[in-house]
Amino acid sequence: MKITISPSTPSQLETESLVVVVLDHSAAGGNDKDKKPELKVACADPAIQSVAADLLSSGEVTGKAFESNLMHHPVTLMAKRLLLVSGGSAAKFSAYELRRIAGTAVRALKARGIRSFAFVAPQGIPAEAAVRAIVEGAHVGNFDPDYYRSDRKDQKIDALTIVASGNQSSIEKAAAEAQIIGESQNFIRDLVNEPSNRMTPTILADRAKKMSDEVGLRCEVYGADKIKEMKMGAFWSVAQGSDEPPALIVMTYEPAGAPAKPVLGLVGKGITFDTGGISIKPADGMEKMKYDMAGGATMIGAMRAIALLKPKVKVIGIVCATENMPSGHAQKPGDVQIAMSGKSIEIINTDAEGRLVLADGLYYARQLGCTHLVDAATLTGAVVVALGYTNAGVFANDDDMYNRFHAANGKAGEKMWRLPLDEEYKEQIKSSIADIVNSGGRWGGAVTAAMFLKEFAEDTPWIHLDIAGTAWMEEQKPWIAKGPSGIALRSLVEFVRGFA
């Protein structure tokens, strides 16, 4: 998508469609059915205010968020169409809502065969923040997952003009950075969207290597022999059941002039298909388990964005990629595995495999010199029980590390919620035959999974992101298609840039 910044008067801009945000200035903010909304366009151009006035006062527009109204050949405007998209309450409107409004506009227009449009950055949000939100949201809205439909329509927006006033140099820089973020988020979604026969561990490694070559990262890929040589017994225990060879993907970003410390380690779970192994999952919904590599895809996409944005900090991305399959070679409940760190693990449930590959990934990151760690994984169904499909779960062993991440997360506009890591939970992962078990049982499952990982992060400042409920959109939304979301990319990039 080509992005252009224009300081033009919106009404004088020639475009296929001009998009303007509508906000409700009533106290109810569109939530009270009995109270009439006070709708105004978030644009100072009198011509646009005049064109929209009759429609906004007609009672046909409710002012509820994401409501779209398209006007053809609006008089006094150079645009062929005027799309009014409601942003809800003016009092609550922020860059978070604007990002979704931009996605809504893209999806509304491209469904009509429109390939380019202009978006008026709304008043009330600083120009740079508004432009970032619009560009990021537009990219999210432009993605569709129906790759393999023979009747697929090639619907996408090719060009977006953003009408924004202010320091044009700063605004254009913000747009360029946001485009990197948006494209990297869609790169993640592209990886996650592929079915497992077209996204094996080998193919995932090839995609990571190709991306690394394009953006200047160093990328090394290791196979089964190296994994066994390095005594990654936890990782190998999952991989041993599949005919597909595993891949340990290591991407390194080390810019000139970066200090020796910190070194940030981004570790991702790359289970390209998860049957559950011998502890096999129910058949219903198993087809979605192609998305179990979303944490790994997130780290690959994050490394892409980091390489292009060039912060002055060393970052190492590690993805442990394998399938989790039942076979005559697969590990069994009751087996004991020895992780790279030397810890012994009693396997209670072979479907608790993500924490096994991450255990060796986290320890290996420390061996490579990482001083701060973040992992991302579609780790537990328990986090969905706790937080639903709205918030990702965040765990941290260090408050300063969490505060850094929380600040980055707020700036990025992604919903996440911190969950506890109290020592009492450690009792649930004690084994009578080994050091720890790989499953602490039903209660507090997201927490006990994090406690397991904490054993391998040890004292290294560490963040764990459980994205099982947020990495896949369960239904179509006005701003995003059903399917992979690309969650955590924006927060991770902001977090890394914060160290620079």
Phi–psi pair at 36, nearest 5 degrees: -70, 130
Domain assignment of residue 136, yes or no: yes
226 plus 357 within the same structural domain = yes
Query: What CATH number has the domain bearing residue 346?
Result: 3.40.630.10
Residue 439: what pLDDT?
97
Domain that holds residue 267: 186-499
Quick one: average pLDDT of 201-218? 98
114 plus 191 within the same structural domain = no
The domain total for the chain is: 2
Quick one: average pLDDT of 292-311? 98
Q: How far lies 236's CA from each of 242, 346, 390, 437, in Å? A: 10, 14, 33, 17
Domain assignment of residue 439, yes or no: yes
**How many whole angstroms separate alpha carbon 414 and alpha carbon 481?**
17
Q: Using one digit for the tens of pLDDT, what is the confidence trace for 424-435?
A: 999 999 999 999
Domain assignment of residue 179, yes or no: no
Quick one: average pLDDT of 77-85? 97
Residue 58: what pLDDT?
92
**How many whole angstroms separate alpha carbon 76 and alpha carbon 72?**
12
Indicate the average pLDDT of the chain: 96
Percent of the chain with pLDDT strictly greater than 90:
96
Residue 35: what pLDDT?
75
Domain assignment of residue 29, yes or no: yes
- Residue 492: in which H helix or E strand, if any? helix 489-499
Query: What CATH number has the domain bearing residue 49?
Result: 3.40.220.10
203 plus 126 within the same structural domain = no
Residue whose pair of structure tokens reads 């202009």 in the numeric block: 118
456 plus 327 within the same structural domain = yes
Residue 32: what pLDDT?
61
pTM of the predicted model over 0.85: yes
Residue 31: what pLDDT?
58
pLDDT level of residue 152 (50, 70, 90 thresholds) = confident
pLDDT level of residue 153 (50, 70, 90 thresholds) = confident
Q: Does residue 187 register a pLDDT over 70?
A: yes
Residue 29: what pLDDT?
64
- In eight-state DSSP terms, residue 482 is S
Q: Which two tokens stand for residue 67?
A: 């409501």
Contact by Cβ (8 Å): 22, 86? yes
Give the torsion through C-alpha atoms of 181, 186, 191, 193, to 10 deg. Answer: 150
Residue 33: what pLDDT?
63
Q: Using one digit for the tens of pLDDT, what is the confidence trace for 221-252?
A: 999 999 999 999 999 999 999 999 999 999 99
Residue whose pair of structure tokens reads 């890929």 in the numeric block: 221
294 plus 385 within the same structural domain = yes
Phi–psi pair at 79, nearest 5 degrees: -70, 145
- In eight-state DSSP terms, residue 439 is -
> In which region does residue 65 sit, left (phi positive, over 0), alpha (psi from -120 to 50) or beta (all else)?
beta
Residue 165: what pLDDT?
93
Residue 36: what pLDDT?
86
Domain assignment of residue 172, yes or no: no
Q: Using one digit for the tens of pLDDT, what is the confidence trace for 317-345?
A: 999 999 999 999 999 999 999 999 999 99
Quick one: average pLDDT of 356-370? 98
Domain boundary among 164, 198, 233: 164
Interstrand relation of 472-473 and 336-338 (parallel, antiparallel or unpaired) = unpaired
Domain assignment of residue 170, yes or no: no
130 plus 248 within the same structural domain = no
59 plus 197 within the same structural domain = no
Active site residues: 281, 355
Domain assignment of residue 474, yes or no: yes
137 plus 259 within the same structural domain = no
User: How far does Cα 329 stand from its chain's mean position?
Assistant: 34
458 plus 339 within the same structural domain = yes
22 plus 152 within the same structural domain = yes
Q: Using one digit for the tens of pLDDT, what is the confidence trace for 369-421?
A: 999 999 999 999 999 999 999 999 999 999 999 999 999 999 999 999 999 99
pLDDT level of residue 30 (50, 70, 90 thresholds) = low
Domain boundary among 97, 132, 164: 164
Peptide bond between residue 262 and the one before it cis (omega within 30 degrees of 0): yes
Q: Does residue 365 register a pLDDT over 70?
A: yes
**How many whole angstroms separate alpha carbon 450 and alpha carbon 465?**
9
Domain assignment of residue 177, yes or no: no
Percent of the chain with pLDDT strictly greater than 70:
99
- Residue 174: in which H helix or E strand, if any? helix 168-193
239 plus 141 within the same structural domain = no
358 plus 217 within the same structural domain = yes
